[in-house]
Amino acid sequence: MSRRGLFLFILVGFLWGIPYLFIKVAVDPENGFSPATVVFLRTAIGAAILIPIAIKQRQLFAAVRGWRYVGAYALLEMIGPWILIGTAEQKISSGLAGLLVASVPIWATIFASMRGDKTVWQRKRLFGIVVGFIGLIAVVGIESITGSADPLSIAMVLVASIGYSYAVMMVQSALPHVSGIAINAVAMAMTAIFYLPWSIAQWPTHEISQGAIRAIIGLGVLSTGAAFAAFFTLANIIGVARGSLVTYLNTAFAVVLGVVILNEPLTTGIILGLPLVLIGSYFASRKPADA
């Protein structure tokens, strides 16, 4: 990997590791925004950043023409997952949310198998699925039994992860020659329009903290607009498959930032489950060299 590729890899890992911290601050019930308002604001900002790039690439109208697939992608990647994660983070730590999202490669591998990818049954990938699920069971079980986290909130993040895992596979298959930046630009615009009525209806009547406002700006500019632009630039250098390995770096950043900045507890469930989920996701997402 070139120096530029390595820089972008680390940058994307940070930009997609920090949103869980931003979301945690932004959805604070006492001085923040509602989860729906957070989704609206982050996607409106993200769309404003990505649409000009998509226009410059001359790919925006290609994404608009595929609106049916982009709409389905938006539903599974943003409209559903981002409201679920935002709602869940009102009751669980940002680090735990990031850890649960690290299960995406495991679910993606299972979906690939259902779509006819026989390499899923290769031993290393099966090993990854099994180890990853053991890690998830450890996290969910320990966090729930000890009362460290709300089981329903954990379930919300897992459902969001399942949506993530299928969304990318679906849209890449349906629109293989359309820029990822253009697809996400249109998907963000769709998501912002979808959540606009809820955002207006749920606009806070209490005083909004400066921290929540800064979190929204960071979430929209850094973790939504800039992160997607950086990821697809990285993908052009090292490919989407290798680029997706940034998931493991995201998770490490999410857990560390939650502990260091928000003083979140490093629970037994996270300590035991984190390495298992990361190892499992790594092996589950690996394909044989001759595949």
Q: Is 79 inside any structural domain?
A: yes
Q: Domain limits at 279?
A: 3-284
Q: Is 255 inside any structural domain?
A: yes
Q: Is 185 inside any structural domain?
A: yes
User: Hey, how many other C-beta atoms are within 10 angstroms of the C-beta on 233?
Assistant: 18
pLDDT given at position 123:
82
Q: Is 24 inside any structural domain?
A: yes
At 164, list the tokens.
Answer: 């993530």
pLDDT given at position 207:
93
pLDDT given at position 240:
61
For residue 197, give the amino acid letter. Answer: P
pLDDT given at position 86:
95
CA atoms of 45 and 50, how far apart (whole Å): 9
Q: Is 291 inside any structural domain?
A: no
Domain count, the chain: 1
Q: Is 182 inside any structural domain?
A: yes
Against a cut of 0.75, is the pTM above it? Answer: yes
Q: Report which DSSP code applies to 208.
A: P
Q: Do the beta carbons of residue 85 and residue 95 sit within 8 Å? A: no
Q: Is 289 inside any structural domain?
A: no
Q: Is 15 inside any structural domain?
A: yes
* Average pLDDT of adjacent 10-residue blocks, the chain of 291 residues: 80 90 94 96 97 95 96 96 95 87 82 76 80 80 73 92 90 90 97 97 94 96 93 77 70 85 83 82 65 50
